[in-house]
């Protein structure tokens, strides 16, 4: 199977051969065939990446955090790590060791006299929606606009022989705008993460990689919330934000019933059923799994599909279920708690460049600390509201 690079090389050879003249019909046909092959190969690569993310131990984390490929030459990384640990350039020439430290819960527990090579991390799932929707990167952060059109309310008609055509409605276009909000890892106080020089020098782990990962997770965790509930005021427009009108609302008490689930599904246009998926929180999914019929059998029989040896397959009314903890529970009054639809058609994320990690050894040098800050520019917006059905909880 050809790689993307192989196909691009063949395309380049065709255009290079025709330099200074028009392409022949045969060359143009061959080039267009390569274009189709390139799109198919790129699509296959994207599907394989998504599948790998699904099969990872924490699929939502794999999808939300960008993990770079391993570099063959790690000279620069080792030099950077040595600089963080010692504060000196070319520290590999003269090895320095600390004479003593004062361990505490801020990081000192990472350098005890005897050490087990394991760092216990408390995890909490986030994201889920981002792996299912349309996204792309731009080099600059200027506002991006693209047109939208809803002509579904207009139909053609039969005109008699010799009759004048009746005036029809003109096409009406709207626009979707994406900006570039700056997400930082600093938190509400806007204070950077600080690590002591002693910790950087004595830690048994690769701290610069670990810190970069954790700061990236902080940004991704904030973004995951905004993709769902952002109101569009100094932040993205979320797919289930409070300003939207729901397609279906639970009855008072907010109990989930089979009939109400059918109503939510019935509000989705058949044009978007082929690639439709549910997105909801784990709490809502658990409440749905608790629904039983008059015979006592559960509405969702996911374990029976997966078998004893596998994790349950999440399916509801024939559609896959994606868990995203940014969605509120169905018991939260008036909350938009779930969506069902073609997610890639419904929502779009725009990011600018790549995430940036800034290491500042100067500002807190007087206290023997190094500051770490990460940021990423991104925005999200609804690009097709008709592509999904939105469910809301009752106000009572």
The beta-carbon contacts of 47-56 under 8 Å, at least 24 apart in sequence, are 50/131, 53/131
What own/partner pairs with CB < 8 Å and gap ≥ 24 does 62-69 have? 63/127, 63/128, 63/130, 63/131, 64/126, 64/127, 64/130, 64/131, 64/217, 64/220, 64/221, 64/223, 64/224, 65/213, 65/216, 65/217, 65/220, 66/216, 66/354, 66/355
CA-to-CA separations, 357 to 126, 209, 260, 349, in angstroms, rounded: 21, 11, 47, 21
Determine the pLDDT at residue 352.
92
317 three-state secondary structure: coil
Give the helix/strand (H/E) hosting 181: strand 181-184
**For position 96, what pLDDT does the model report?**
38
- Would you state the pLDDT for residue 307? 52
Nearest partner of 140 among 377, 381, 379, 380, judged by Cα: 377
CA dihedral 80, 84, 88, 90 (to 10 degrees): -30
Kindly give the pairing relationship between strand 134-138 and strand 347-360: parallel
User: Which residues of the chain have a pLDDT value below 70?
Assistant: 55-125, 150-152, 166-168, 187-188, 302-312
φ, ψ at 376 (rounded to 5°): -150, 140
Domain ranges of the chain: 4-55, 125-150+172-396
Q: Which helix (H) or strand (E) holds 288?
A: helix 282-289
* DSSP secondary structure letters along 15-65: HHHTTTSPPPHHHHHHHHHHHHHHHHHHHHHHHHHHHHHHHSTTHHHHHHS
Among candidates 344, 329, 347, 346, which has minimal Cα distance to 392?
329
CA distances from 104 to 77, 155, 195, 370 (A): 28, 72, 12, 17
Angle at which helices 75-86 and 207-229 cross, to 10°: 100
- Take residue 139 and report the two structure tokens written for it: 């080099």
Sign of the torsion angle spanned by Cα atoms 252, 253, 257, 263:
positive
What's the CA gap between 288 and 299, in Å, rounded? Answer: 8
Structure tokens at 191: 């204070």
Per-residue model confidence (pLDDT) at position 95: 43
Residue 30: both structure tokens together: 């061959």
**pLDDT for res 14:** 87
Q: Under CATH, which number does the domain 125-150+172-396 receive?
A: 3.90.1690
pLDDT in tens, 322-342: 999 999 999 999 999 999 999
Per-residue model confidence (pLDDT) at position 57: 53
pTM exceeds 0.75 for this model: no
Q: Give me the pLDDT at residue 68, please.
A: 47
């Amino acid at each position: 199977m050809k790689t993307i690079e192989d196909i691009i090389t063949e395309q380049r050879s065709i255009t290079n051969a025709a330099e200074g003249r028009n392409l022949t019909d045969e060359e143009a046909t061959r080039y267009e065939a390569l274009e189709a092959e390139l799109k198919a190969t790129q699509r296959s690569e994207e599907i394989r990446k998504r599948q790998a993310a699904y099969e990872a131990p924490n699929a939502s984390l794999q999808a939300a955090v960008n993990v770079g490929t391993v570099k063959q030459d790690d000279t620069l990384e080792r030099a950077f790590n040595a600089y963080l640990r010692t504060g000196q350039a070319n520290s590999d020439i003269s090895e320095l060791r600390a004479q003593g430290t004062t361990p505490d819960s801020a990081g000192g527990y990472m350098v005890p006299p005897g050490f087990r090579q394991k760092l216990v991390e408390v995890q909490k799932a986030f994201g889920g929606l981002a792996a299912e929707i349309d996204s792309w990167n731009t080099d600059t952060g200027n506002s991006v606009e693209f047109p939208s059109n809803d002509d579904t309310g207009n139909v053609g008609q039969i005109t008699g022989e010799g009759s004048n055509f009746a005036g029809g409605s003109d096409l009406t276009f709207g626009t979707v705008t994406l900006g570039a909000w700056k997400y930082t890892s600093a938190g509400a106080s806007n204070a950077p993460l600080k690590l002591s020089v002693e910790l950087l020098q004595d830690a048994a782990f690769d701290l610069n990689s670990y810190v970069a990962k954790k700061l990236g997770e902080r940004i991704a965790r904030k973004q995951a919330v905004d993709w769902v509930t952002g109101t569009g005021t100094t932040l993205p427009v979320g797919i289930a934000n409070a300003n939207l009108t729901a397609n279906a609302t639970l009855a008072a008490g907010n109990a989930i019933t089979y009939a109400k689930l059918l109503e939510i599904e019935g509000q989705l246009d058949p044009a978007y059923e082929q690639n439709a998926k549910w997105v909801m929180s784990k709490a809502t999914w658990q409440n749905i799994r608790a629904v039983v019929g008059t015979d006592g059998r559960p509405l969702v029989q996911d374990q029976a599909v997966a078998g004893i040896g596998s994790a349950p397959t999440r399916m509801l009314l024939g559609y896959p279920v994606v868990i995203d903890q940014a969605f509120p529970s169905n018991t939260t009054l008036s909350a938009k708690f779930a969506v069902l639809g073609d997610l890639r058609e419904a929502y779009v994320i725009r990011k600018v460049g790549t995430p940036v990690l800034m290491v500042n050894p100067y500002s807190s040098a007087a206290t023997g600390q190094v500051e770490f800050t990460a940021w990423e520019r991104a925005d999200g917006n609804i690009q097709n509201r008709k592509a999904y059905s939105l469910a809301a909880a009752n106000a009572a």
